[in-house]
Structure 1
Amino acid sequence: MSGPATSGFAARTVSFVNHPAGPKTIFFWGPFMRWCLVGASLKDLTRPADKLSISQNFALSAAGFISARWSFVIIHSFAAANFFVGLSGVAQLARIAHYCYTQQPVAQGTSR
Structure 2
Amino acid sequence: MSKAYKAVVLFADRFVPQKLRPLWEHEAGPKTIFFWAPAFKWALVAASIDEYRRPLDTVSPTQSATLAATGLIWTRYCLVIRPINYALSLCNFSLGVANGVQCFRAYSYQKGLEKMA
**Do these two structures clear the TM 0.5 threshold for a shared fold by scoring above it?**
yes
The reply on whether 1:75 has 2:97 as its aligned counterpart is no
Among 37, 41, 44, the residue aligned to 2:48: 41
Q: Is the partner of 1:33 in helix, strand or coil?
A: helix
Alpha-carbon distance between aligned partners in 1 of 2:59 and 2:32, rounded to the nearest angstrom: 33
Partner of residue 63, structure 1: 70
Structure 1 gaps of 5+ residues are 1-9, 106-112
Query: Quick one: structure 1 residues 72 and 50, their matched pair in 2 at CA, closer, same or farther if it must change by over 3 Å?
Result: same
CA contact (8 A) 2:62 2:103 kept: no
1:50 aligns with 2:57: yes
The C-alpha deviation readout for 1:35-78, integer Å capped at 9, x for no partner, is 11111111000001111112211110111000001111221121
Which amino acid in 2 is paired with 1:42? I
Report the identity percentage.
Answer: 33
Q: Report runs of 4+ in structure 1 exceeding 6 Å deviation.
A: none
CA distance in 2, matches of 1:63, 1:33: 16
Distance 1:71 1:49 in 2: 32
What amino acid maps onto 1:85 in structure 2? L
What is the CA–CA distance in structure 1 between the aligned matches of 2:39 and 2:57, rounded to whole Å? 29
Deviation, structure 1 residue 33: 2.4
Contact 2:38 2:88 in 1 (8 A): yes
Q: Is 1:94 aligned to residue 104 of structure 2?
A: yes
2:94 maps to which residue? 84
For the 8 Å contact 2:61–2:107, the answer to whether it is kept is no
Give the number of aligned pairs. Answer: 92
Instruction: Provide the C-alpha distance between the structure 1 equivalents of 2:40 and 2:101, rounded to a whole number of angstroms.
Output: 19
Q: Give 1:27 shift.
A: 1.8
